[in-house]
Structure 1
Amino acid sequence: MAHKKILIPASLLVVFVASLFGAVLLTPESRSPILFDIPEISLVGYQRLMIFAPHCDDEILGSAGLIQKAHQLGIDVRVVLETNGDGYLFATLEEFRRIYPRPGDFIRMGDLRQQETLKALQQLGVKSHQVFFLGYPDRGTPQLWLQHWSRENPYTSPYTRTSRSPYHLTFNSAAVYAGEDLLGDIRSLIETYQPDLIVYPHPADVHPDHWGLSAFVRLAVYLIQRHTPDYQPALLAYLIHRPDFPYPKRYVPEADLLPPNKMWSVDTEWFRLDLTGDEIARKENATLAYQSQLGLLRNFLLSFVRRNELFDRPEAGILEVVSFGDRMQPGTWLNSLGEPIPAIKQDPQGDFITRRLVPASDWVALYAAHSPQDELWLCAELRGRANGMFTYTLRLLAVDENDQIAHYSAQGRAGRASFNQAEIQQNQVCTHIAMDTLNRPWLLFVSADVRNGTLGILDQIAWQAVFTFPLEVSSH
């Protein structure tokens, strides 16, 4: 009896602590997935695979098993590395034994990581001519997406102190660190090799280079499809960085790789690729080829050596037209059939400790619609009432009929009407923009973030693609 008195409160304590750090209760709406919830994918029928990786090692962590199976089936494989991972300060400190690394040290780290990539991929049957290094700046992808789009205003890496690739192995040595050049390189590779399966980083990955590259790849594909409707590749996304993923963060090759519970609660369109014992062993060996990263990241890197790999299939949305509703209350928006207009993107709730404890910092959903006034209505919903200690930002990238790119953003803080560009009402952060101001776009990418001046970004809704009208799809 005394034994039971000890066990019961201890169990409750475990549940309480787990809930604080991101676990979820096993309710029907949000329960832990098991492997057999997730359908298996097959590569049969595909001919050309192209994998996009933000850094040297992500291609192995996310898709080494996929590469092996593609190679076994005779599928042509191409691997594209956006950056060389040359901005990882602590690995550079350890590798070159300098307290204050110089720009040349970071470049040497990039050269080293390129060679590690070639060695790792060779173990999986991928030759050097099948690998493309774009040479863009590590941790700089969001700046290219948001602030340094034009070649006239290139970004300078704070690590290498360059505004273009300093590497001999560079796909396009004429490119500068600008969004339009990165988009052009990605588009060029896709148009040249015409992959029918494209694998890229997950939009909800919290690492800035990962969500940034995810947006660039999707934009490139949609631009190509608009002009070539026959081109309809399959798109699969892999996840690497989230505090609750993978679980556990250690070497357990016999374990399943499963989606984070909170992501599963809003997105069940995941797929698994089961690996054989030999494929798991080759993935482990390929991971160990990244010697420069093992000193600090061994447990994390090896935590992706599992019985399966995991892929999601994010979909673009279609902008619906509002026939009735209050602009500041997306729950009231109705279409011409009188049906509620759903969110274009749901965001996991209470998934990290700060968001669980502070509802004003936790996004729930993002809504977008075309209004009767010929405006874009954009609203982001919080789990709690907006708080003046946070800055809320709605972000938008618009693509017009001439494929010109324009950026817009609206910020707001509760109780600061003079500061606000966005409007805030209770738990809604909204803005409205005339479609003419946006130059009547055919494609939008939208997102929202909440930040604090001291803590930085506390939550960000993954960039969601939205067509203002359905793209033409070939019947062939």
Structure 2
Amino acid sequence: MPLSPELYSPDARTRLLVVAPHPDDETIGTGELLQLVRASGGEVRVLLLTDGDDNPWPQRWLERRLWIGGEDRARWGRRRRGEVAQALQRLDIPLGALQAMGWPDMGLTALLRERAPSALARLVEQLVAFRPNVVALPALGDRHPDHGSAHVLMRLALAEGGIEPPLLLGYLVHGREEPAGNVTPPADVGRHAAKLGALSAHGSQMALSAGRMRRLTDRPERYDRVARPPGDREAGALPWQPRAWHSRLRLTVASPDGVQHWRWNQAPLRRDGQGRYRLVDVPTAPCFARLDMDVPSPWIFDRWGWCEL
């Protein structure tokens, strides 16, 4: 029988940093937590990684256009960033709490692979400036690629940031919620109503997906307390056993030692006595691996995604 969720009680010393890959994640994932920390006298900051500009179908619908060029996307991104500001206002969060990075929507995995040092340096600047003692970040197992990669980026930035390790709370937007090990804010009708009101500020997303958005936002907020996995005397085991398309699969490994990626059939792997694939050399912890298929697809969600080694 799963344990009851642990109630989270912040106080005036709380400094909460919310990591939001896209506009609306701050509301769906942490709308009540943000209000709770503010009501407790704590400080909050929302780190918006992208402006959500690669969001073509709602834009086509609302703007009555088929072709979307670079200027159109930039305009859409400005609209969505403005929606975040309105949503935070409805949550009684000051506009100065919003810090926008302006990174590419649907591009955080590529950013991690190709420009990790500069991206991590910017995140470390944010961490050192705010010095959070609580960080709410997307769950590693979230099936949206930007969410999983946002988790990895923030974990690596924390590993090199030189600040006291904060409490890490992972929130899930896309995927199946785990029943155990959850932390939750105390239920409050007023905070929940304000959260639903904040969602309505994201009009660009409500146009085509209002029902789904309300279902996501109406769920009780639950967070997994993020902790390093227990050690293994044979470290570096991967959870995947791919049997086809080896030449099109891509393995990415990210750690404080750097980020590397290979075709699966060229990766430095070995098979152990149980038939599992393992990295030949295990990087410094925290270490994350990602498996994906290097082919264009209209399906945006991950099949394999990230794991922590």
Q: TM-score range by the shorter chain?
A: 0.7 to 0.9
Q: Who is 1:315 aligned against? A: 227
Write out aligned runs for 1:430-449 (5 A): 430-434=277-281, 441-449=283-291
CA contact (8 A) 1:381 1:428 kept: no
Q: Who is 1:158 aligned against? A: none
Q: Who is 1:396 aligned against? A: 253
Whole-angstrom distance in 2 between the partners of 1:432 and 1:58: 34
Q: Which has the higher helix share?
A: 2
Whole-angstrom distance in 1 between the partners of 2:277 and 2:123: 33
Higher RCO structure, 1 or 2 (CA under 8 Å, sep 6+): 2
Compute the displacement of 1:420 (Å). Answer: 7.5
Q: Who is 1:49 aligned against? A: 16
Amino acid at match of 1:399: P
CA contact (8 A) 1:410 1:431 kept: no
Q: 1:114 aligns with which of 52, 74, 81?
A: 81
Write out aligned runs for 1:377-456 (5 A): 377-382=236-241, 387-389=243-245, 393-400=250-257, 405-409=258-262, 411-412=264-265, 422-423=269-270, 428-434=275-281, 441-449=283-291, 451=293
Q: 1:278 aligns with which of 171, 190, 197?
A: 190
Q: Who is 1:463 aligned against? A: 307
Q: What secondary structure sits across from 1:442 in the alignment?
A: coil
CA RMSD of aligned residues (A): 2.8
Compute the displacement of 1:222 (Å). Answer: 1.3
Compute the displacement of 1:284 (Å). Answer: 0.8
Identity %: 23
CA contact (8 A) 1:274 1:309 kept: no
CA contact (8 A) 1:85 1:138 kept: yes
CA contact (8 A) 2:141 2:148 kept: yes
CA contact (8 A) 1:60 1:286 kept: yes
- Aligned residue pairs, count: 306
Normalising by the residue count of structure 2, what TM-score does the alignment of the two structures yield? 0.87
Matched, 1:234 2:185: no
Compute the displacement of 1:301 (Å). Answer: 1.3
Q: Cα–Cα, structure 1 residues 100 and 283, in superposed 2: closer, same or farther, change >3 Å?
A: same
Write out aligned runs for 1:136-175 (5 A): 136-146=103-113, 148-149=114-115
Whole-angstrom distance in 2 between the partners of 1:397 and 1:299: 36
Whole-angstrom distance in 2 between the partners of 1:406 and 1:118: 34
Compute the displacement of 1:393 (Å). Answer: 4.9
Compute the displacement of 1:142 (Å). Answer: 0.5
Q: Who is 1:209 aligned against? A: 146
Deviation track 1:317-374 (CA, whole Å, cap 9, x = no partner) reads 365445xxxxxxxxxxxxxxxxxxxxxxxxxxxxxxxxxxxxxxxxxxxxxx2xxxxx
Whole-angstrom distance in 1 between the partners of 2:262 and 2:105: 24
Write out aligned runs for 1:12-91 (5 A): 37-44=4-11, 46-91=13-58
Whole-angstrom distance in 2 between the partners of 1:114 and 1:66: 20
Compute the displacement of 1:190 (Å). Answer: 0.9
Matched, 1:219 2:156: yes
Amino acid at match of 2:202: Y
Compute the displacement of 1:92 (Å). Answer: 1.3
Whole-angstrom distance in 2 between the partners of 1:131 and 1:114: 10
Q: What secondary structure sits across from 2:143 in the alignment?
A: coil
Compute the displacement of 1:94 (Å). Answer: 1.6
Whole-angstrom distance in 1 between the partners of 2:267 and 2:154: 32
Q: What secondary structure sits across from 2:222 in the alignment?
A: strand
Whole-angstrom distance in 1 between the partners of 2:269 and 2:85: 47
Q: Cα–Cα, structure 1 residues 398 and 186, in superposed 2: closer, same or farther, change >3 Å?
A: closer
Compute the displacement of 1:122 (Å). Answer: 0.8
Amino acid at match of 1:443: A
Whole-angstrom distance in 1 between the partners of 2:69 and 2:219: 41
